[in-house]
């Protein structure tokens, strides 16, 4: 089946909506044709808040290949800690619930880049129209839930150094090169610890030759040793995702 280009003037290629988002890329062609007209390419900026707790989730985002979004839980005293990291393997927004439901956490862009946005209501219509689409999202919801459960254990039981290493690995997977654009301040916010704590941890990783610090950037120098430094959570989440969504090419 070919994509309907009836609305495209002769000789003009339709915009390359097919995303670098791996979840969307796993959708069959017929189903992708259903969603394609609804997808709007956008650029997400660092620190951009996609929704706050209590906001209606009117838009769902599919991060592109390097983009990363954190789901943060905010406490009453204003502190925050990351509950999940979502990149090209997933979606941010109306994953399970039908219609525009209030958000529980804050979604903020940690690594800027491209994304595709779709009205959450339109996504719901598509899930109803396509069992395959609905099934893919249900399995993704399970994978996201697994990550959230792992985060509970990770935040309670694992050292800041292991958690920082886990986060650097997940980001390195998507960065496309060894350089991760990340400030120690934002890493501290995501890990829910003081900046001075993160500074000490990052310094230790650098002294052992695992990473190198630059201004506003972190370079992964020794990926293998960083994997050994990270807690088990990184591999556990990745492996469970692969079991649930084997067709998604990460
Ligand atoms: Zn952990």
- Surrounding residues of ion ligand 1, Cβ less than 5 A: 154, 158, 231, 233
For residue 213, the CA-to-ligand 1 centroid distance in Å is 23
**What's the pTM?**
0.87
Per-residue pLDDT of the chain (250 residues; tens, 9 = 90+): 333 334 445 555 445 456 789 999 999 888 888 899 999 999 999 999 999 998 889 999 999 988 999 999 999 998 888 899 999 999 998 776 655 678 889 999 988 899 999 999 999 899 898 999 899 999 999 999 999 999 999 999 999 999 999 999 988 887 767 788 888 888 898 888 999 999 999 999 999 999 999 888 899 999 999 999 999 998 999 999 999 999 998 7
For residue 153, the CA-to-ligand 1 centroid distance in Å is 7
| Domain end (from 156, 171, 186) | 156
95 and 135 both lie in a single domain:
yes
CA torsion angle 69 74 79 81 (round to 10): -40
For residue 244, the CA-to-ligand 1 centroid distance in Å is 20
> What percent of the chain is predicted at pLDDT more than 90?
58
For residue 66, the CA-to-ligand 1 centroid distance in Å is 23
User: What would the two tokens of residue 179 be?
Assistant: 């350089």
- Is residue 9 domain-resident? no
The Cα 68–Cα 182 span in angstroms is 11
For residue 119, the CA-to-ligand 1 centroid distance in Å is 34
User: What would the two tokens of residue 177 be?
Assistant: 């090169």
26 and 137 both lie in a single domain:
yes
For residue 164, the CA-to-ligand 1 centroid distance in Å is 9
For residue 39, the Cα-to-chain-centroid distance in whole angstroms is 18
**Domain harbouring 139, CATH code:** 2.60.120.10
> What percent of the chain is predicted at pLDDT more than 70?
90
- Is residue 6 domain-resident? no
For residue 190, the CA-to-ligand 1 centroid distance in Å is 13
- Is residue 4 domain-resident? no
- Show Cβ contacts of residue 61 under 8 Å, excluding neighbours closer than 6 positions: 42, 44, 50, 69, 91, 92, 93, 107, 115, 116, 117
90 and 34 both lie in a single domain:
yes
188 and 139 both lie in a single domain:
no
- Is residue 165 domain-resident? yes
30 and 78 both lie in a single domain:
yes
| Domain end (from 123, 156, 189) | 156
Q: Would you say 100 and 66 are in contact if contact means Cβ atoms under 8 Å apart? A: no
For residue 77, the CA-to-ligand 1 centroid distance in Å is 25
For residue 233, the CA-to-ligand 1 centroid distance in Å is 4
Give bridge partners of residue 73 from the DSSP assignment.
Answer: 81
28 and 150 both lie in a single domain:
yes
**Domain harbouring 193, CATH code:** 1.10.10.10
For residue 147, the CA-to-ligand 1 centroid distance in Å is 11
User: What would the two tokens of residue 154 be?
Assistant: 């990770």
Rounded to the nearest 10 degrees, what angle do helices 131-157 and 160-175 cross at?
A: 150
130 and 195 both lie in a single domain:
no
57 and 148 both lie in a single domain:
yes
Rounded to the nearest 5°, which phi and psi values hold at 73?
A: -100, 130
pLDDT at 99: 59
186 and 208 both lie in a single domain:
yes
For residue 232, the CA-to-ligand 1 centroid distance in Å is 6
- Provide the domain limits for residue 213: 159-230
35 and 132 both lie in a single domain:
yes
Looking at the 3D structure of the chain, how many domains does it have?
2
For residue 192, the CA-to-ligand 1 centroid distance in Å is 14
For residue 170, the CA-to-ligand 1 centroid distance in Å is 12
- Is residue 239 domain-resident? no
For residue 106, the CA-to-ligand 1 centroid distance in Å is 21
The Cα 233–Cα 239 span in angstroms is 10
145 and 66 both lie in a single domain:
yes
pLDDT at 24: 92
Q: pLDDT tens digit string along 80-139? A: 888 999 999 999 987 766 556 788 899 999 888 999 999 999 998 998 989 998 999 999
135 and 188 both lie in a single domain:
no
Where helices occur in the chain by DSSP H, the ranges are: 22-25, 29-35, 120-129, 131-157, 160-175, 184-191, 195-207, 223-229, 233-244
């Amino acid at each position: 089946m070919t994509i309907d280009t009836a609305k495209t003037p002769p000789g003009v290629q339709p915009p390359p909506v097919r995303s670098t988002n791996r979840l969307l890329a796993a959708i069959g062609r017929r189903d992708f044709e259903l969603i394609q007209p609804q997808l709007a390419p956008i650029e997400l900026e660092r620190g951009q808040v996609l929704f706050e707790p209590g906001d209606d989730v009117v838009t769902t985002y599919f991060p592109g290949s390097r983009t990363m979004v954190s789901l943060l839980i905010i406490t009453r005293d204003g502190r925050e800690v990351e509950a999940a990291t979502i990149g090209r393997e997933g979606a941010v927004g109306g994953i399970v619930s039908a219609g525009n439901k209030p958000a529980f956490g804050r979604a903020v862009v940690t690594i800027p880049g491209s994304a595709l946005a779709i009205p959450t209501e339109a996504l719901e219509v598509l899930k109803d129209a396509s069992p395959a689409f609905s099934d893919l999202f249900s399995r993704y919801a399970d994978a996201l839930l697994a990550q959230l459960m792992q985060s509970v254990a990770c935040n309670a039981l694992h050292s800041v150094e292991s958690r920082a290493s886990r986060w650097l690995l997940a980001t390195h997977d998507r960065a496309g090169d060894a350089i991760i654009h990340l400030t120690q301040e934002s890493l501290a916010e995501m890990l829910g610890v003081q900046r001075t704590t993160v500074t000490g941890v990052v310094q230790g990783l650098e002294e052992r030759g695992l990473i190198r610090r630059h201004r506003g950037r972190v370079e992964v120098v020794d990926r293998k040793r960083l994997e050994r430094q990270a807690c088990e959570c990184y591999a556990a989440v990745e492996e469970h995702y692969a079991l649930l969504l084997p067709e998604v090419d990460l």
